[in-house]
Amino acid sequence: TNLNAFDIISLSAGFDLSGLFEEK
Amino acid sequence: MGCISTKHTKQTPGYEDPKVLASETAFTVSEVEALYELYKKLSFLIIKDGLIHKEEFQLALFRNSEKQNLFADRVFDLFDVKHNGVIEFGEFVRSLSIFHPDAPEEDKIAFAFRLYDLRQTGYIEREELKEMVMALLNESDLRLSDEVVEQIVDKTFGQADSKGDGRIDLDEWKEFVKKNPSLLRNMTLPYLKDITMAFPSFVMKSEVSDEDM
């Protein structure tokens, strides 16, 4: 497989900080 | 609503002077003030004390304060520089600055390394890498056999652990990121470029404040 472990990890929703900027 | 100067409203605990924060970060004073508007919203989501607790951070990210996520936990812990269980305003601005499109790449590389160094040993170890891959698989619909996970972790280590001592140090990480720039994709938040546009209500308030200064 050509998958890199860090690329897989980077798919986590925990890294997507855009939620901080959404309307509350 | 409307033209109320932020100068005259009660500030949250841990508030820091936007001018000082702007001088230390990639943000302008106006952007720091806009971030304060955002910070106040986040810090009053659940526990109304003007500090961002982990539950509020999770609620903002996932619309669910109970959702457990290894990586969101790590991000929170790194933002919480004082390790007192909350993100204060200064910590919020300084940490978010690393995610600014104009922030130095070196800072992004170092922050990502600390994120992945789960046990804070100064190294990304093989077990940590496997643990993080397994955590991602648990959170997603991706299904990989243990054998395939082992292969992926081994291969990644083979590429990143250039000294071959079974752990990735910061220098090895820097080299690895140079060859794989996509690894820094999560370290830039385009939103931060126009944070004042994202909070237009703030702009009205800011104009009043600026006249006062």
Q: What is the pLDDT of residues B162-211, one digit of tens each?
A: 999 999 999 999 999 999 999 999 999 998 988 888 765 444 454 444 43
Inter-chain CB proximity B63 and A12 less than 8 Å: no
Q: Give residue B3's pLDDT.
A: 45
**B interface mutation test: which of A6, A10, A22 has the most B CBs within 10 A?**
A6
The values of phi and psi at residue B177, to 5°, are -65, -35
pLDDT of residue B199: 65
- DSSP string of A1-24, one letter each residue: ----HHHHHTT-GGG-GGGGGS--
Closest-approach residue (CA) in chain A for B192: A21
> What tens digit of pLDDT does each residue of B33-57 get?
999 999 999 999 999 999 999 999 9
| Nearest neighbour of A9 by CB, restricted to B45, B96, B132 | B132
B145 touching A, CB under 8 A? no
Task: Report the alpha-carbon distance of residue A1 to residue A3 in Å, rounded.
Answer: 6
- A8 with B70: Cβ contact below 8 A: no
Closest Cα in chain A to B73 = A14
Neighbouring-strand partners of residue B86: B53
Q: Which residue has the higher pLDDT, A21 or B206?
A: A21
Residue, of B6 and B22, whose pLDDT is higher: B22
- Asked whether the predicted pLDDT for residue A23 surpasses 90, the reply is no
Nearest to A4 by CA among B211, B208, B160: B160
Can you tell me the mean pLDDT for B137-165?
Answer: 95
Whether B197 and A21 have beta carbons less than 8 Å apart is answered as no
Q: Which residues of chain A are within 8 Å of residue B71 when distances are taken between CB atoms?
A: 9, 12-15
**CB contact (8 A) between residue B61 and residue A9:** no
Antiparallel, parallel or unpaired: β B167-168 and B52-53:
unpaired
Residues B131, B150 contacting (CB under 8 angstroms): no
